[in-house]
Amino acid sequence: MAAPSLLNWRRVSSFTGPVPRARHGHRAVAIRELMIIFGGGNEGIADELHVYNTVTNQWFLPAVRGDIPPGCAAHGFVCDGTRILVFGGMVEYGRYSNELYELQASRWLWKKVKPHAPSSGLPPCPRLGHSFSLYGNKCYLFGGLANESEDSNNNVPRYLNDFYELELQHGSGVVGWSIPVTKGTVPSPRESHTAVIYCKKDSGSPKMYVFGGMCGARLDDLWQLDLETMSWSKPETKGTVPLPRSLHTANVIGNKMYIFGGWVPQKGENIEASPHDCEWKCTSSFSYLNLDTAEWTTLVSDSQEDKKNSRPRPRAGHCAVAIGTRLYFWSGRDGYKKALNSQVCCKDLWYLDTEKPPAPSQVQLIKATTNSFHVKWDEVPTVEGYLLQLNTDLPYQAASSDSSAAPNMQGVRMDPHRQDSNSIIPNSISDTMNSAKTEHTVMKGTPVKNKPDLKSSTDSNAVLHSPLATNASNHNSCMMDMLRKNEGPHTSANLGVLSSCLDLRTVIPETSVSSTVCSAQTMVTQQTIKTESSSTNGAVVKDETSLTTFNTKSEVDEICALPATKISRVETHTAAMPFSKETPSTPVATTKAGERQWCDVGIFKNNTALVSQFYLLPKGKQSISKIGNADVPDYSLLKKQDLVPGTGYRFRVAAINGCGIGPFSKISEFKTCIPGFPGAPSAVRISKNVEGIHLSWEPPTSPSGNILEYSAYLAIRTAQIQDNPSQLVFMRIYCGLKTSCIVTTGQLANAHIDYTSRPAIVFRISAKNEKGYGPATQVRWLQGNNKKAPLN
């Protein structure tokens, strides 16, 4: 974690949609990139459900239906997948609730649920300020504040330390309450505390950590409950314990519990105080507890002043959610307005990256031409951009070290929440998610409508890849897997849609495997298939390794992106191609990639890039990017060099967030095309018939002359694949002029089931003209999750 002085808070200054009014006592949860807020109050209790999309910076009000709960504040609010549970809270002054509501966010449907009472004892009484924590299929309720008086206008507070367990049914509904028998000393009664649950990755039982709260005075004690043994304990901690507080937030990211804000005692500090706030104040202090070592670390102390408004101002009763490794904070109250003796609520939204982003997936090829690459990589959540670099074995002239050519680190910050942030990112591609009521293009023309859906669609059964480049010089075939996106209509998948949110429809290519192509003697024909789609962009290219090759003629050619297809049960990908050491015409590295200087291609806001040039290094410089932070170099002062036909380039990419530039991905290698070879076949379809399956395709969009023949290949089972599943071995099942073939059940019986992602049978199809074979299109025909024979 960064030192306190290096914390890079970001205030979201530009967003769209109906912004909720400022409040305190509200609660928030995260469903993927969405922050969902309910309840709270400021001059009246709010009853609306608000959603903020952290990717598109858009607020929206979903059209909820069903048993809509009344507005409440200081309630319990947890998320289980796409189901949200609300328990208790204050529904009006002096009147508290013990009702339980469930929201199915995939349909924005509310339902009031009635759990069974405990077998011994009473169900939880109405309360506010309790903790309500989820782990597995159970929610854990602890403490809170009750009103002993039946008259809501005559509030007689009673602090609670009772403990309940609520068992959930799978998907929807609840079983009932129970009162676990616990061991050890129970924490003292309290309200407005926090409780989080954490379990070590490799060992240990889940534990609930209760911190702080209010019981007449504010508390700073930490309690631990082992959820397996139901034993309470008070762990010994190291470091500086945060000041006693209530109405703070606690969030777990990794093995750290982050504590922010809340009410803390004045402790006689020289601060102007009215009679209404002389005993306590709001704070912006920020600490974390390492839950593995029980050590506290102070990131922002209570005494640190912020004269530049570079971080959230002091507040309490705010909400905080963790999305990936990023924390978002919204609203809350910052004390009392002395002239009017009324609470003042903050209206601001902030976020903080708690650590550098992880390495993205390997760079993958969508399309190669003679002097450019269209590449992509998997998205990394909550990042502000990506640094793409390349190197090559070709000599390139180092840029002059004159001051005119030296990089000028201007400290430009990339704020994804600024609507004009594309302007500072060279070659960036439009966002995959954008504001509502507009259409955008995602990866070669895929329409995107803005409405995320949390419902998962069913998988289709085939996966389309494209193209594999081949080389004829030694009569061996070489194939490259290229990642590719389907451009036709498709269904949404894992990301899903939240109705009333954005209609997001993107296709996610599945994992593809780089390999050298094998060919053999056998015949086959074609088929029909629907493209399988999913919701986040990306696919993973496995480590490029050469495969056993069979004799066949092949040559390297322009690698074409696979056009749109409507195929059921198919996944589309463009295969990204490694260098074959057996192919003399392909440049082979004479030194390790790490020994070559890496040059910046640029900073990209999104996970795709069109690469035709790169920036030259000043003499004596190893890198022109500062890795310690996310400052953007002034590329306008650097010389550029164009890509060269028939040349191999290595790529790597790193993600950037507020903590700086993260680690680089594994290295991928691609080769620019040699002119004159045919493109890859397109629109591959697979359909079942009595003989087996029918495989069909369309001719290349760029044949570069007359097509002399097509070859179709099937990945087959071999001992080599069993030893190394990433090395596919292919058998040629068809060679001829037709654009279709039959793959018999006998041939399919020998097919290899690829489990690098979802189980699939892999086909490759390439075209040949007078100059030779061009790149191949790869198709993954999904087989479900079993290992039965195909067609079953």
- How far is the C-alpha of 541 from the C-alpha of 422, rounded, in Å? 28
For residue 162, the tally of other CB atoms under 10 A from its CB is 18
Q: Which of 109-113, 616-620, 780-784 has the lowest mean pLDDT?
A: 616-620
Please write the tens of the pLDDT for every residue from 177-236: 999 999 999 999 999 999 999 999 877 899 999 999 999 899 999 999 999 999 999 999
User: Collapsing DSSP states into helix, strand and coil, what is residue 746?
Assistant: helix
- How far is the C-alpha of 604 from the C-alpha of 661, rounded, in Å? 13
Q: Which of 333-337, 629-633, 739-743 has the lowest mean pLDDT?
A: 629-633
For residue 770, the tally of other CB atoms under 10 A from its CB is 12
Question: Residue 273 pLDDT more than 50?
Answer: no
Return the pLDDT at 723.
66
For residue 271, the tally of other CB atoms under 10 A from its CB is 10
User: Collapsing DSSP states into helix, strand and coil, what is residue 226?
Assistant: strand
Task: State both tokens at 169.
Answer: 């049914």
Phi, psi dihedral angles at 722 (to 5 degrees): -65, -35
Q: Is the Cβ–Cβ distance between 674 and 773 less than 8 Å?
A: no
Q: Is residue 755 very low, low, confident or very high in pLDDT (cuts 50, 70, 90)?
A: confident
- How far is the C-alpha of 371 from the C-alpha of 644, rounded, in Å? 5
Return the pLDDT at 267.
64
Tokens 């591609």 appear where? 429
Return the pLDDT at 322.
97
Question: Residue 736 pLDDT more than 80?
Answer: yes
Return the pLDDT at 559.
27
Residue spans of beta strands (DSSP E) within 55-206: 58-60, 65-66, 76-80, 83-92, 95-104, 109-113, 131-135, 138-147, 157-168, 174-178, 194-198
Nearest to 527 by CA among 366, 712, 701: 712
Q: Pick 43 or 715 by higher pLDDT.
A: 715
Q: Is residue 535 very low, low, confident or very high in pLDDT (cuts 50, 70, 90)?
A: very low
- How far is the C-alpha of 225 from the C-alpha of 646, rounded, in Å? 63
Helix (DSSP H) and strand (DSSP E) numbers for the chain: 2, 56
Task: State both tokens at 283.
Answer: 């704070």
Most confident residue range from 97-111, 263-277, 747-761:
97-111
- How far is the C-alpha of 538 from the C-alpha of 777, rounded, in Å? 18
- Average pLDDT rounded to a whole number, residues 16-41: 96
- How far is the C-alpha of 765 from the C-alpha of 503, rounded, in Å? 34
Return the pLDDT at 616.
86
Q: Is residue 454 very low, low, confident or very high in pLDDT (cuts 50, 70, 90)?
A: very low
Q: Is residue 500 very low, low, confident or very high in pLDDT (cuts 50, 70, 90)?
A: very low
Return the pLDDT at 288.
98
Q: Is the Cβ–Cβ distance between 47 and 348 less than 8 Å?
A: no
Please write the tens of the pLDDT for every residue from 293-341: 999 999 998 877 776 788 999 999 999 999 999 999 999 998 765 545 5
Return the pLDDT at 93.
83
Return the pLDDT at 19.
95
Q: Pick 514 or 413 by higher pLDDT.
A: 413
DSSP state of 485: -
Return the pLDDT at 767.
93
- How far is the C-alpha of 664 from the C-alpha of 627, rounded, in Å? 11
Q: Pick 671 or 503 by higher pLDDT.
A: 671
- Average pLDDT rounded to a whole number, residues 10-25: 94
Return the pLDDT at 642.
95
- For 613-650, b where at least 16 C-beta lie within 10 A, e where not — what string? bbbbbbeeeeebbeeebbbbbebebbeeeebeeebbbb
Please write the tens of the pLDDT for every residue from 674-709: 888 888 888 899 999 999 999 999 998 888 899 999
Return the pLDDT at 397.
55
Q: Is the Cβ–Cβ distance between 53 and 61 less than 8 Å?
A: no
Return the pLDDT at 188.
98
Most confident residue range from 117-121, 147-151, 446-450, 456-460:
117-121
Q: Which of 55-59, 216-220, 451-455, 541-545 has the lowest mean pLDDT?
A: 541-545
- Average pLDDT rounded to a whole number, residues 388-412: 54
Q: Pick 549 or 778 by higher pLDDT.
A: 778
Question: Residue 164 pLDDT more than 60?
Answer: yes
Name the amino acid, one letter, at 568: S
Return the pLDDT at 632.
61
Task: State both tokens at 242.
Answer: 């945060």
DSSP state of 481: B
User: Collapsing DSSP states into helix, strand and coil, what is residue 748?
Assistant: helix
- How far is the C-alpha of 716 from the C-alpha of 415, rounded, in Å? 49
Q: Is the Cβ–Cβ distance between 561 and 568 less than 8 Å?
A: no
Q: Pick 182 or 433 by higher pLDDT.
A: 182
Return the pLDDT at 457.
34
Pairing label, strands 349-353, 280-282: unpaired
Strand partners, 177: 166
Question: Residue 253 pLDDT more than 90?
Answer: yes
Return the pLDDT at 240.
96
- Average pLDDT rounded to a whole number, residues 355-382: 88
- How far is the C-alpha of 489 from the C-alpha of 447, rounded, in Å? 8
Return the pLDDT at 670.
87
- Average pLDDT rounded to a whole number, residues 129-141: 97
Return the pLDDT at 369.
79
